[in-house]
Amino acid sequence: MSALDEVREEMQGVWARLATFWGVPPAAARVHAWLLSSEDAIEGEVLARELEMSRGAVSMACRELRDWGLVQEERVPGSRKVAYRAETEPERVIRSIVQARKRREWDPLLDNVSRWRDRIRSDRSAQAKHCREVLGEIEGLVGLVDSMAESFLRGGLVQKLGMRTLVSAARKQAKNASKKKRGTT
């Protein structure tokens, strides 16, 4: 097994474990890891073979990744086949993830919390008062996160500084940490 194959395999394992934190199915995360490590667009059949997954599982994983904005489909010239390419621009990836999490999680939660508080507004019992307070705290916290996400999606600090500047600073910091870990400075 080549070093690249070993790295790809390790990436798949890490991505699959982290996937639950992103809200992405582990199979989709494995496909994403493979696509990230490939310069070229890859056909579904090739992904299925390389990842030892069914073609249907690869197709569903790629559809999920496309919905997240992490993968683009490309038609193979002269064929009905579709190839997939991972989005590798860090700013686009992060914005896609934040937008999807906001749409899938925060927006519905805020809608429901507000509706639930309205439904028990006239109930004067101690239990209802407690529930309204807890819902208010949840609404405040999720609302804060949501407003931060909105600011990020509109540009905010990232637009002013530039994602490339932030990524460059993060890489420099990671490189320095790696040197310290190896005992060289």
Instruction: Report, as an integer, the average pLDDT of 168-175.
Output: 74
Rounded Cα distance between 41 and 49, Å, is 15
The burial of 91, by beta-carbon neighbours within 10 Å (0-12 exposed, 13-18 middle, 19 or more buried), is given as middle
List all residues 6 or more positions away from 124 whose beta carbon is below 8 Å from its beta carbon: none
**Local confidence band at 84 (pLDDT 50, 70, 90 cut-offs):** very high
180 torsion bin: left (phi>0), alpha (psi -120 to 50), beta (else): alpha
Scanning the structure block, which residue is given the tokens 């992103």? Answer: 22
Structure tokens that stand for 88 in this block: 């590798």
pLDDT of residue 86: 94
**Local confidence band at 167 (pLDDT 50, 70, 90 cut-offs):** low
Q: What mean pLDDT is reported for the chain?
A: 86
List all residues 6 or more positions away from 43 whose beta carbon is below 8 Å from its beta carbon: 76, 81, 82, 83, 84
pLDDT of residue 124: 95
**Local confidence band at 79 (pLDDT 50, 70, 90 cut-offs):** confident
